[in-house]
């Protein structure tokens, strides 16, 4: 009977709570995730060691170790779940950032393509204008050369007629070769 009372005294007992939110808060506070002040756990190994026989000590310490191990596993499980939740949130934020960046890049690509089409259109107009101006420059160059030949011929005929009959024949023959 003394062993049963001792086991009942060693078992942690919580007061019954009626509100589920309070129960959850108390549970989280017990395992170190509470928002309030840290609870001071009862150290059963130091308070009951003098009153228990050695064989009960080992079973009590073994059950306390098992309870501690279960508590650590529970804390670790909760910690892992929270870490996974944060990781999923981080991944979601990263995915949203990548989608926004892809949308910005697509918009920039469309803008650059439109600018390129405009520049290509202007370049085609410049090439056409350049070809027209080259043709015009060639035509003007040919007209200038013809005008210079005509002037040279007139000057030769004028010189031949001014020289009279002496040597005029050679100048006229030379002028006819120029044309």
* Model pLDDT for residues 148-166, shown as the tens digit of each residue: 999 988 888 887 777 765 5
Percent of the chain with pLDDT over 90: 44
Contact (CB, 8 A) for 178 and 149 = yes
CB-count exposure of residue 140 (10 Å: 0-12, 13-18, 19+): exposed
Find all residues with CB under 8 Å of 31, minimum gap 6, and list them: 71, 74, 75, 78
Higher-pLDDT residue of 60, 135: 135
Average pLDDT of the residues in 95-113? 97
Question: The tokens 């990781």 sit on which residue?
Answer: 87
Q: What confidence tier does 38 reach under pLDDT thresholds 50, 70, 90?
A: very low
pLDDT for 172 = 61
Q: What confidence tier does 67 reach under pLDDT thresholds 50, 70, 90?
A: confident
pLDDT for 82 = 95
Q: Determine the Cα–Cα distance for residues 28 and 42; give it in Å rounded to an integer.
A: 17
Residue 40 DSSP code: -
* 101-117 as b/e: b if 16+ CB within 10 A: eeeeeeeeeeeeeeeee
Residue 53 DSSP code: -
From the list 83, 7, 72, 91, the residue with the least C-alpha distance to 44 is: 7
For the stretch 8-19, pLDDT in tens is 555 555 555 456
Find all residues with CB under 8 Å of 10, minimum gap 6, and list them: 44, 48, 60
């Amino acid at each position: 009977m003394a062993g049963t009372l001792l086991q009942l005294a060693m078992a942690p007992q919580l007061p019954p709570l009626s509100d589920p939110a309070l129960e959850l808060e108390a549970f989280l506070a017990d395992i170190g995730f509470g928002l309030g002040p840290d609870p001071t756990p009862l150290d059963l190994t130091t308070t009951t060691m003098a009153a228990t026989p050695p064989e009960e000590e080992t079973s009590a310490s073994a059950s306390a170790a098992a309870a501690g191990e279960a508590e650590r596993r529970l804390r670790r499980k909760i910690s892992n779940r929270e870490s996974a939740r944060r990781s999923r949130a981080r991944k979601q934020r990263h995915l949203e950032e990548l989608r926004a960046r892809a949308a910005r890049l697509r918009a920039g690509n469309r803008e650059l393509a439109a600018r390129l089409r405009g520049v290509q259109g202007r370049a085609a107009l410049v090439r056409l204008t350049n070809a027209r101006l080259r043709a015009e420059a060639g035509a003007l160059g040919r007209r200038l050369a013809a005008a210079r030949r005509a002037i040279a011929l007139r000057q030769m005929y004028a010189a031949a007629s001014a020289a009279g009959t002496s040597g005029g024949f050679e100048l006229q023959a030379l002028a006819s070769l120029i044309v």
